[in-house]
A and B are shown apart, each in its own frame.
Chain A
Amino acid sequence: MTRLYSFHGGVHPPENKRQSLGAPIRQAPLPARLILPLQQHIGKPATPLVAVGDTVLKGQKIAEPSGHVSAAIHAPSSGSITYIGLQPVPHASGLESPCIVIETDGQEQWIERQPLTDYQQLDKQALIRHIRNAGIAGLGGAGFPTDIKLNLGRDHIVNTLIINAAECEPYITADDALMRERPDEILSGIEIIAHLLQPSHILIGIEDNKPNAIKALRDAIRARKLPIDLVVVPTRYPSGGEKQLIQLLTGIEVASGSIPADVGIVCQNVGTAAAIYRAVILGEPLISRIVTLTGFALGHRQNYEVLIGTPFSVLLESAEVDRSRMFRLVMGGPMMGISIEDDRIPVIKTTNCIIAATREEMPPSPPAQPCIRCGMCEQVCPASLLPQQLFWFAKGREFDKARHHNLFDCIECGACAYVCPSNIPLVQHYRFAKSEIRNEEAEQLKAAQARERFEARQARLAREEQEKEQRRKERAEAAAREQARKKAEAEQADAGEQDPEAELKKLKTAASIARTKLKKARDALKNAQEKGLDGTDKLEATVLQLEQSAQAAEQAWQNATGVQH
């Protein structure tokens, strides 16, 4: 038996799991419209491959990954594309984001499936490409594209594969149901993962509150004689957190800021393993998943096999929701899920649970009281942080100090807010602080970029100015040279013979200009004298001076004409 370790903190919220385990997994109805957000995973949104009006078959790829960290999207059923654009999506902000909308035709007509039953003979990269093409992203809740985790074997030595079957959040039983009913799919998926990563150890971590699933898995493992350790861990939230589960099973801590593969561990969810099986052995891309529908506002609380893109409203109707009693709609579990305002949003790859809760079930939290630093949050924090200090820093906007207290190691599990006797919304404080810090960083980056561009522009302008100046100088020099040349020529000509005609013209012009000036001055003087303004004496002097110069000019001209004629 494998040794069990422990992680710091943790809480025991009421489980509320039994209510949704009464019946086997049921097929959800085919909705009239399927809404497929382009971003259902961590990373870049997918790029659509279809246009409005196209008809698609079930399983046809309708959007392809853009970039390394991204995932493909497939049509969950056959029909036609009616709209590509903004639609409400499951996101904490409640905002809209680009989606592809398919109007289903009810035919459920499959595209030709391409299974890889002989995957063991295939090149590993080809197999990983196949999984990438199937659009598989972590089904546990984070939605990290699976092919990247499977490709780690190239630059990491992976010695332990951990299959996360803990499902520690209350209410959720999707993985539990999957393990009870389809243990073989999971084990086949694990075999494929193990083939790719070649780990020396395979561990399945499962909480001890799922005896039926444990039995089903144990029987299946025994029947197949697989070298897999099924490790039963005590029920304690958040044992299903990736880092917590790793610590529970191996005693190893994943260093802050690095990934489990850096310590030789890869973690996959059971649902992901089953999806890999379907993609490789059956050739079916990820187009459906198991979703727990629960909460006391529902008539039927059970697990559904749901096509991705099915609107929540369809599922709620199918589960006989009592809308008058529904007070809070949560996607995910009660500890980390996001609350939903609009029930038209679709199920995505990471939707493991929908809770339609009544007011009694999830009452509005009472107003927050002051923090008395009781330290209960610190006792339960699975990351061994000081939540009360982080709270002060977040509230006082002292983000530097919050960072120093490892704010970014917070996994937002909600254990602190769960135990807080003063009902302080701690997690929201941390989320606020984190997004402020990220925003600040982004702004700084942008400012640095702007500065760079500004400086480049300034340099360019200066260079252009300099070049212009240079050219102007050159032109001026050229002109000066030209003039000098002309002047020299003219002087040469002058030396030979003066041009009497031109001289005469010049004198004439000078005389007429002098006359005009004199006239203007006289007018001004007259005007000034009439109005009795000051300074007429100055004007008189000017006029006098102008008279003399006019006479001189006249004289010169007449002399010149005299000479000529």
Chain B
Amino acid sequence: MTTIVTAVLILLLLALVFGLILGFAAVRFRVEGDPIVEQIDALLPQTQCGQCGYPGCRPYAEAISNGDAINKCPPGGQSTIEALADLLDREVVPLDSEHGEEQPKTVAYIREDECIGCTKCIQACPVDAILGAAKQMHTVIVSECTGCDLCVEPCPVDCIDMLPLPVTPTNWKWPAPVSDPNLILTDRGRGHLLQGGSQ
């Protein structure tokens, strides 16, 4: 009888001690984590283009945290999908083509002599990157444009072009060295997976 009591007591004592240690650790080493939505939002490209079907990147981040698919963001492309999969511990899936294809980064340009000054594009721009006033010519602030495409549709005279950013010595990137094509014969099919993140 006494053995049982001792055993129970010891176990209780142990439970108490470990409980205290764990409780202390939980307070002492608390990790002030970003809420998951913030973390997801930080990975999205913030083009606010709405191609995912949500009105902006943050709503999509909220949707992802509620279990929506992670492959609905064409501007982010494969690298964003990989980063999200990494963060959320989900499977990496290819981009859902229903929402668009991954394309090189573009910037909107207004053909200024054709612009009639209707301000429709200004209202469409999610990041306020278009300047102008009614009956006055509009122009895009190139450094703020996210290339979301949303201003093209409303323009009544079709004077907005989405052009790829010009490569200058300042934004030029060193390319990855190419190995002898002979040597990567079997890797050829896998190349795009490895390289996918670059765009």
Contacts and interface: CB of A to CB of B under 8 A. Distances in A.
A complexed with B: yes
Interface of A: 39, 89, 91-93, 95, 97, 367-368, 397, 425, 428-429, 431-432, 434-436, 439, 443, 446-451, 453-458
Interface string B48-74: 100000001110000000000000000
A454 B183 CA distance: 47
20 contacts: A91-B172, A92-B172, A92-B174, A95-B167, A95-B169, A367-B180, A368-B179, A397-B194, A425-B177, A429-B177, A432-B176, A434-B174, A446-B46, A447-B44, A447-B46, A448-B46, A454-B46, A454-B126, A457-B126, A458-B56
Nearest to B166: A95
Given A368-B177, A428-B177, A450 B146 contact: yes
Contacts of B177: 368, 425, 428-429, 432
A548 B176 CA distance: 88
Contacts of B58: 451, 455
Nearest to A458: B56
B23 interface: no
A93 B44 CA distance: 30
A368 B168 contact: no
Given A453-B144, A457-B126, 12 more contacts: A367-B183, A368-B179, A397-B194, A397-B197, A428-B177, A435-B172, A436-B198, A447-B45, A450-B127, A451-B41, A454-B46, A455-B58
B37 to A, nearest CB: 13
Interface residues of B, number: 31
Nearest to A447: B46
A431 B197 CA distance: 17
B175 interface: yes
The A interface, classified by DSSP as helix, strand, loop or mixed, is helix
A455 B126 CA distance: 9
Given A451-B46, A451-B57, A97 B168 contact: yes
A453 B127 contact: yes
Contacts of B116: none
A91 B177 CA distance: 18
Contacts of B47: 450
Contacts of B44: 447
B128 interface: yes
Contact of A439 (B48, B144, B146, B173): B173
Nearest to A424: B177
Nearest to A369: B183
B129 interface: yes
Contact of A367 (B182, B194, B198): B182
Contacts of A434: 174
A99 to B, nearest CB: 12
A397 B167 CA distance: 22
In the A-B complex, the 5 residue pairs with the closest CB atoms: A367-B180, A447-B46, A431-B174, A93-B172, A450-B46
Interface string B131-154: 000000000000010100000000
Contact of B174 (A367, A432, A447, A454): A432
